[in-house]
Chain A
């Protein structure tokens, strides 16, 4: 069964460093998302990506964040200068059409120290 794959599963980084979280969405999907979940809290939307551009972003997704789909298969989230409060589980999700369910990856746990 096709699945969304995220790497790494866990990343520890020093405050101020850049991190890139990687995702391989399901191959025939068209819509891509990043969400985050701070430990013990609810899942929050960060950004959606469709047709090679950002279609929507939340207030959390400020200038420190960027997304890319560099090669038609990978979908990356970059945080330029990490802060302690960026520590969270980051989920990538993909979706086939606009009214279908989104499938989530297993998440990347980011710890900023």
Chain B
């Protein structure tokens, strides 16, 4: 069965520092997509970044980059130059080609950015 694991329930980072949020996955499906979403305290789910299993390069979107290590089945989110507004819950999610188009979410990591 496909599974997403986020082992860090909470993380702290100082403003302007970089932080890595871990995500590992388990699937035998060769084709899949990996997503990161941000959920601030207001509750909405904000799409951050996407990585396809066949993409040759790691995805980047502004201050967000995805450290995709296919052999290790990991898709860690790196946030550079953290800002106070980055404080939120971050969810890793996966779409398995054999599983329709639904997203399977990890349990999330609560990130707190400190001065």
B104 — which chain A residues lie within 8 A by C-beta? 45
Check A98 against B50 for contact (C-beta < 8 Å).
Answer: no
Check B45 against A95 for contact (C-beta < 8 Å).
Answer: no
Check B103 against A106 for contact (C-beta < 8 Å).
Answer: no
Check B47 against A104 for contact (C-beta < 8 Å).
Answer: yes
A35 to B37 alpha-carbon distance, docked (Å):
14
Check A48 against B37 for contact (C-beta < 8 Å).
Answer: no
**Known contacts A42-B91, A42-B107, A101-B35: does B101 contact A95 (CB below 8 Å)?**
yes
**Known contacts A42-B105, A42-B106: does B91 contact A103 (CB below 8 Å)?**
no
**Known contacts A42-B107, A104-B37: does B91 contact A31 (CB below 8 Å)?**
no
Q: Which residue of A lies closest to B44 (CB)?
A: A106
Q: How far, in Å, is A107 (CB) from chain B's closest CB?
A: 5
A91 to B107 alpha-carbon distance, docked (Å):
16
Q: How far, in Å, is B75 (CB) from chain A's closest CB?
A: 14
Check B102 against A101 for contact (C-beta < 8 Å).
Answer: no
Q: How far, in Å, is A9 (CB) from chain B's closest CB?
A: 9
B50 — which chain A residues lie within 8 A by C-beta? 100-101
Q: How far, in Å, is B10 (CB) from chain A's closest CB?
A: 13
**Known contacts A43-B45, A91-B45, A104-B37: does B52 contact A56 (CB below 8 Å)?**
no
The interface of chain A, by Cβ under 8 A from chain B, is 31, 33, 35, 41-45, 48, 50, 55-56, 58, 89, 91, 93, 95, 98-107, 109
